[in-house]
Amino acid sequence: MYTCRLHIYITGHPSHTLDVIKKMPSLVNFTHIFSESDEPEEDPAAKADLIIADLSNADLPSAVQILLQKRRAEAQIILLADKKQLQLLCSEPGLKDITDIWITPMSDDEIRFRFLRWQETCKMSRDLWQTNHYLEATINNVPNLIWYKDKDGVHEKVNDCFCRAVNKTKQQVQGRRHAYLGCGGRRSLLHRIGTPGHEQTADPHIRRDH
């Protein structure tokens, strides 16, 4: 099980929307740390996991650029803007890097709904990270070749034992078909190294043992 501290940076003039967000509880295994400023600032933006910016009274282009340039690469940005500001935002070149735009004004129920959805999405990504970590730890600590392919025969994931057998890195193998390995078919490879292997297709219910 993991624990996650989320640094949430809220910028913009005091607003009811931000007050509602700050009062919402965190999900299980998560804690929230809040920082605030009236205008976008570089230091808190660089430390934040989530930036919530109320642009009601802000210089729109300048505020967006500061947040995009100073945030951490994995940080997410939610902008609060009215309908008139939305038209200006649509012309911003950095719009593709914005996580979401909430159109104001909003009712308390809508604010809670939107932030809860963000919390759940964030938790889902952390859960996926944990599950992937478990999978990697498991397949890389067994002495057998393990590989996963899609329906077209492209390797989606392989373990360390597989890479040692074919003398290639995961980056070289994953995304490639078996012919790229230069070691013949599956049976030829397994016969050469004298070890059992397990192939998993895209369908998790279909498994072939060799």
Q: How far apart are CA 36 and CA 210, in angstroms?
A: 59
Write the CA distances from 3 to 6, 28, 53, 87, 192, integer angstroms.
10, 9, 26, 39, 45
Higher pLDDT, 89 or 26: 26
- Reply yes or no on whether the pLDDT at 104 is more than 50: yes
Token digits of residue 206: 């279909």
Q: Which residues pair with 121 in a beta bridge?
A: none
pLDDT for position 207 = 43
Give the pLDDT mean for 149-157: 93
Model confidence band, residue 188 (pLDDT cutoffs 50, 70, 90): low
Alpha helices in 90-145 (DSSP H): 108-139
Q: How far apart are CA 161 and CA 26, in angstroms?
A: 41
pLDDT for position 202 = 46
Give the pLDDT mean for 151-174: 93
Q: How far apart are CA 47 and CA 49, in angstroms?
A: 7
